[in-house]
Structure 1
Amino acid sequence: MPSGSQDQLFEDTAPVAATPFWQSGHRPTLIMAFLYFDVAFMVWNMLGPLAPIISKDLGFTPAEKGFMVAVPTLAGAVLRLVNGFLVDKIGQKVTGAIGQLIVIVGLLCAWHFGVHSMEALVAVGVILGFAGASFAVALPLASRWYPPEHQGKAMGIAGMGNSGTVFAALFAPLLAKAFGWNSVFGLAAIPVAIIFVLYMIFVKDSPNQPPARTMGVYVKDYMKMLGQSDAWWFIFFYGVTFGGFVGLSGSLPIFYTTELGMTPIHAGYATAACVFAGSLVRPLGGALADRIGGVKTLSLVYIAATVLLVAISFSPLQFGLLFPLFFCVMAALGVGNGAVFQLVPQRFRNEIGIMTGLVGFGGGVGGFYLASSLGLAKQFTGSPSAGFLIFAALALVALAGLTAVKARWRSTWGAALKGVRI
């Protein structure tokens, strides 16, 4: 590569609306936002693939298994609200660095001292929640460098860090078999530390930052956002798409082992394939939303998710039938994740830090609900089918809500976006 082009690759360029996507922002930051998010998601979701092994060793009930994989999701949801404040107060780069250091120290402590009880697993789950809270850092890192017409692509690429769940599903069971499941915590700290170093070298905050706010002003702004119906709709819409994605990511290893009798390693392979589908299409969902509009894209997603989840709940317990259904529903939800975050920056561009925290919180709560409800359904009915059916109903409610608000959106804030489809 000529030296001039290499300099250009790492050049800080302010977003220019008329320029092509790859020249309109800061590529090193976008790439590192993806890598940071990817590794963070890997450790955030590592309890799911380990759940069949840990629960066997510690004698957990189905409800306890569901709760174990749901704790990091809920912790991440709450901590995203904190990160939403910090990214506006001290910047995205510093906020992300603090979160990564907490995760590295927490993983090493879990490895060194050992995890021997549900209480200890809950503590580990809370630490892993700091990795899940990376969502509220990585997406503003990408968003603030790019103009409105490229938001879907930028947020989709950064958000493709969901694929870190693939690595957790693939490697956590294998490492647990080779070294013991407690050692996986220490081994996971290694890639987190490597990405931390690269992150500190290459990431730059965009010059397009909102004014710094005090905690009192920030809480007031949160309350102001919560006073807007559009904010609640986005929270709910993402609670279904991302909540379904992350809830299934953590629950599929348990489903495959308990319902289909697969080994943890084979369950990890099957889960990784499904998660890969959902992660791969996230930027495609953003690009599709840029092309045909986020509202239309989301409508198609909710229809597909409803049909597929109902089919899963009534399907015979055969891998050949269930695997394609899980694969397709994860892909549909991945498209929905990209579509939601094509819309959010259009509606709340000046409040993207707060809204990323709020919407991410909704996604985390959705994931916590799905993972825990599947465990409860299994314990009290003998099958997780009721959990899938209820979540299908939530997707149908989301479709109805989107249909109700789309005309107002297109005639108000959507009409002010010249050349951008919503």
Structure 2
Amino acid sequence: MTAPSTAPAPPSRGGRWIQQWDPEDETFWKETGEKVAKRNLLFSVLSEHIGFSIWTMWSVLVLFMGPEYGLTPADKFLLTSMVTLVGAVVRVPYTFAVAIFGGRNWTIISASLLLVPTVAAFAVMKPGTSFDTFLLVGLLAGIGGGNFASSMTNINAFFPLRKKGWALGLNAGGGNIGVPVIQLIALAIIGASGGPRVLLGIYIPLILVAAILSALFMDNIENVKNDTGAAKDAARDGHTWIMSFLYIGTFGSFIGYSFAFGQVLQNQFGRTPLEAAYVTFIGPLLGSLIRPVGGALADKYGGAKITLWNYVGMGAATAVLIAASMQKSLGLFTVAFVVLFVLSGLGNGSTFKMIPGIFHTKALAKGLEGEAAAAYGRRLSGASMGLIGAVGALGGVGINLAFRQSFLSYGSGTGAFVAFLAFYAACFGVTWAVYLRRTAAQGQASTAPEAKPQLSYAEV
């Protein structure tokens, strides 16, 4: 039975710092914690959602950029690759900014910073602007990708382990859905014969609203201290890099395809910007909506198991894409691509649920119990999330560069899809070997009393 704890007094409106926070205490969670955590989750999702929209706005801006802009398909793929790269790199400092500034405070800052790339793009988005200028302004948009890392690290601290899959999945899914939302708005603008500046003009006031609401309704947690030791420990832990590799396969696919889908439809199947825009939002929308489902399934059945079979599905969908690409079947290609988006979203939820579970399992293996085990898991999982999120997002860079090379070499995306299929097979093998094979080996070894105990990650 968990001893009841004294619920912390409501944070002051001035600084909004919560002095005590123990979500693993069921009494505290029911009486105080759940309400506060869900409120912070709501406004964290809003800021992260707009961050994703700004990060991926170039996936739709390039659809507006016709021959009068003087850019080749290779130029556009390079542009979106560099935007993705910056979004991946800034995730590392954004992760640790939560501990330095506080989750609420950094959400206000990071939301406000989104004005920089949006206003800059509004200023330069016209024919006659040089490619170098577009590239520089596109790099600024990458900061929107960092909001995911700080948001996930912040929300990870608010929820108990048993709720993390659902909470992190909802947080990330609500953010991810910023991709199809900006694509839908772009579709409406293109359909109404509007220009790209209309799209950018819509987001400037939305950014201000997100920053103001974060200031009014979010909180900082006092005990989330800046811990450089946690960062070093996370970087030294092999599971951080294994999960980074697996996250390349899920989130790298999601963000990479989000940037590339419309361009592939235009370049390989001759779709107009409006025709491409009618389709491009569907995959990211469904992939975003299903991410919380991936987290919930991982809570119930174990993230490793869901992730393993999800890679089987991603491999099968990619094989269909290769066949459709070779047969030039637009219908089959579109359906298979949307399925691949859905599976990438499902896998995003299951892989991120694995992270806190892995480190909590390691804490138990060290002999820690109760709050000590939970604190150890929160410390390392929070620090590792930024690294994993950053490396995973680099997969989006690889996808866009692979498409660029495939179109330069073969005139289609078929070569890139073959490479992606091989990578998904490798992800399947790593998931089984590291997180599920050990369970079987442990069962076989349990008959020998002198056998060395092994960690089991099957339920993480």
Q: TM-score, normalised by structure 2?
A: 0.82
Q: Distance in 1 between the 2:24 and 2:239 partners? A: 28
Q: Distance in 2 between the 1:61 and 1:49 partners? A: 16
Whether 1:199 and 2:199 are equivalent positions in the alignment is no
Deviation at 1:117, TM superposition (A): 2.1
Alpha-carbon deviations, 1:109-130, whole Å to 9, x = none?
A: 3313546122222222222111
Give the alignment of 1:23-38 within 5 angstroms: 23=34, 26-38=37-49
Deviation at 1:20, TM superposition (A): 7.1
Alpha-carbon deviations, 1:353-393, whole Å to 9, x = none?
A: 42121011112100111012112211121111111111121
Alpha-carbon deviations, 1:381-415, whole Å to 9, x = none?
A: 11111111111211110110111111477678965
**Could you tell me which residue of structure 1 aligns to residue 157 of structure 2?**
144
Count of matched residue pairs = 405
**Could you tell me which residue of structure 1 aligns to residue 69 of structure 2?**
58
* Contact 1:43–1:128 (Cα < 8 Å) also in 2: yes
Aligned CA distance change for structure 1 residues 356 and 413 (closer, same or farther; 3 Å): farther
Aligned CA distance change for structure 1 residues 150 and 182 (closer, same or farther; 3 Å): same
Q: Distance in 1 between the 2:94 and 2:454 partners? A: 27
Whether 1:75 and 2:109 are equivalent positions in the alignment is no
* Contact 1:50–1:173 (Cα < 8 Å) also in 2: no
Q: Which runs of 5+ in 2 are unaligned?
A: 1-9, 360-376, 443-452
**Could you tell me which residue of structure 2 aligns to residue 289 of structure 1?**
298
- Structure 1 stretch displaced more, 278-287 or 191-200: 191-200
**Could you tell me which residue of structure 2 aligns to residue 166 of structure 1?**
180
* Contact 1:45–1:250 (Cα < 8 Å) also in 2: yes
* Contact 1:24–1:146 (Cα < 8 Å) also in 2: no
Aligned CA distance change for structure 1 residues 376 and 240 (closer, same or farther; 3 Å): same
Aligned CA distance change for structure 1 residues 46 and 114 (closer, same or farther; 3 Å): closer
* Contact 1:24–1:147 (Cα < 8 Å) also in 2: no
**Residue 187 of structure 1: which of 202, 227, 230 is its match?**
202
Q: Distance in 2 between the 1:24 and 1:398 partners? A: 38
Whether 1:104 and 2:142 are equivalent positions in the alignment is no
- Structure 1 stretch displaced more, 102-111 or 365-374: 102-111
Secondary structure, counterpart of 1:15 in structure 2: coil
Alpha-carbon deviations, 1:284-313, whole Å to 9, x = none?
A: 000000011000000011111111112102
Whether 1:330 and 2:341 are equivalent positions in the alignment is yes
Secondary structure, counterpart of 1:195 in structure 2: helix
Deviation at 1:276, TM superposition (A): 1.0
Alpha-carbon deviations, 1:293-337, whole Å to 9, x = none?
A: 000000011111111112102213233211211111111110100
Whether 1:379 and 2:394 are equivalent positions in the alignment is no
Q: Distance in 1 between the 2:438 and 2:292 partners? A: 23
Secondary structure, counterpart of 2:220 in structure 1: coil
Secondary structure, counterpart of 1:144 in structure 2: helix
Q: Match for 2:23: what amino acid?
A: P
**Residue 131 of structure 1: which of 144, 151, 161 is its match?**
144
Give the alignment of 1:293-304 within 5 angstroms: 293-304=302-313
Alpha-carbon deviations, 1:84-143, whole Å to 9, x = none?
A: 221122222222222222221331133135461222222222221111100111112221
Alpha-carbon deviations, 1:131-166, whole Å to 9, x = none?
A: 110011111222111111111000011011101111
**Greater C-alpha Rg:** 2
* Contact 2:317–2:336 (Cα < 8 Å) also in 1: yes
Q: Distance in 2 between the 1:294 and 1:71 partners? A: 31
* Contact 1:136–1:353 (Cα < 8 Å) also in 2: no
Whether 1:226 and 2:235 are equivalent positions in the alignment is yes
* Contact 1:67–1:371 (Cα < 8 Å) also in 2: yes
Q: Distance in 1 between the 2:236 and 2:313 partners? A: 31
Alpha-carbon deviations, 1:58-81, whole Å to 9, x = none?
A: 222222111111222110111001
**Residue 405 of structure 1: which of 434, 437, 440 is its match?**
434
Whether 1:212 and 2:212 are equivalent positions in the alignment is no
* Contact 1:165–1:249 (Cα < 8 Å) also in 2: yes
* Contact 1:239–1:363 (Cα < 8 Å) also in 2: yes
Secondary structure, counterpart of 1:266 in structure 2: helix
**Could you tell me which residue of structure 1 aligns to residue 7 of structure 2?**
none
Q: Match for 2:387: what amino acid?
A: L
Secondary structure, counterpart of 2:250 in structure 1: helix
Whether 1:87 and 2:98 are equivalent positions in the alignment is yes
Q: Match for 1:167: what amino acid?
A: V
Deviation at 1:24, TM superposition (A): 7.0
**Could you tell me which residue of structure 2 aligns to residue 354 of structure 1?**
383
Q: Distance in 2 between the 1:241 and 1:184 partners? A: 29
Q: Distance in 1 between the 2:237 and 2:263 partners? A: 38
**Could you tell me which residue of structure 2 aligns to residue 421 of structure 1?**
459
Deviation at 1:55, TM superposition (A): 5.3
**Could you tell me which residue of structure 2 aligns to residue 368 of structure 1?**
397
